[in-house]
Amino acid sequence: MTQQQISKEETRRAAQDFYQTHIRPIVETEENIGKMLILDVATGDYEIDDMNNSLALNKRMLAKHPGNRLTGFRIGYDAVQAFGGYRPMPSKR
């Protein structure tokens, strides 16, 4: 099955599962909390950078993996961005 045949929802679920199982235990350290991580689900390759460099991070990953679906995570948080309301502090895991 090629990556284009996989739905966005399936890609999101696969990325979330891969992140939780393989990446999170490695990267969720105090120095990385709040940083942006972009994951290529097809290859398992990822990069981390500060949130204010997220556009450059995305461009780097697209250059390395053109045509692949990338998924972004904010390390230590449930969502990459929050709009309105309040942002709860990340839990210690």
Q: Which stretch of 5-9, 29-33, 64-68 has the lowest confidence by average pLDDT? A: 5-9
Is 79 within the bounds of a domain?
no
Above 80 in pLDDT, residue 53? Answer: yes
Q: Considering its fold, how many domains does the chain have in total?
A: 1
Structural domain includes residue 85: no
Q: Establish if 84 belongs to a structural domain.
A: no
What is the residue type of 76? G
pLDDT, mean of residues 67-83: 79
What tokens appear for 17 in the block?
């599962």
Question: Could you tell me if residue 86 is inside a domain?
Answer: no
Q: List the domain range (segments joined by +) for residue 23.
A: 3-74
Task: Indicate whether 61 belongs to any domain.
Answer: yes
Q: Nearest 5°: CA angle at 62, between 42 and 13?
A: 35
pTM comes to 0.76
**Could you tell me how many residues make up the chain?**
93
Each residue of 39-57: b (16+ CB within 10 Å) or e?
Answer: bbbbeeebebbeeeebeeb
91 in a structural domain? no
Overall average pLDDT of the 16-31 stretch: 94
Assess if residue 15 is contained within a domain: yes
Residue 87 lies in a domain: no
Residue 93 is predicted with a pLDDT of: 55
Average pLDDT, the chain: 83
